[in-house]
Amino acid sequence: MTIQDFPSRRDDPAARKFGTFSYLPPLTTEQVKRQVEYMIAKGWACGIEHVEPSRAADTYWYMWKLPLFGETDAAAVLSEVELCHSAHPSDHVRLIGYDAKRQTQGLAIVVHRGVV
């Protein structure tokens, strides 16, 4: 009996998963907006990160500016996400909700997948 060698998902950057939402079809702009509104309603600070697809699983992601502490306008957050994406079009872009009360991330979703 021989053991079949299966390729690892780690070898295929396009197949990598980055949390719960990455197992779903890509979120629409309206769905991303609802997630931002949820983070704001919870009082979480929204942050944006980006990284090259080839390094997404191996290192820390780069922070895009500082987290948007005290921001209450979802459109302003989404505008910053689009600025990050236009500045780094081939990178993955992730939106994070920082929960200051629990001192952890309350939510992290990849809103743009980079070019592999």
Mean pLDDT of the chain: 89
* pLDDT higher than 80, residue 64: yes
pLDDT in tens, 5-58: 666 656 666 667 777 787 888 899 999 999 999 999 999 999 999 999 888 887
Q: Which domains does the chain have, with CATH numbers?
A: 29-112 (3.30.190.10)
Give the pLDDT band of residue 116 (cuts 50, 70, 90).
confident
The reported pLDDT for the residue numbered 6 is 60
Q: What is the pTM of this model?
A: 0.84
Question: In sequence order, what are the residues at sequence separation of 6 or more whose Cβ sits closer than 8 angstroms to the Cβ of residue 49?
Answer: 61, 62, 63, 64, 93, 94, 96
The reported pLDDT for the residue numbered 77 is 98
Question: In sequence order, what are the residues at sequence separation of 6 or more whose Cβ sits closer than 8 angstroms to the Cβ of residue 89?
Answer: 114, 115
The reported pLDDT for the residue numbered 71 is 96
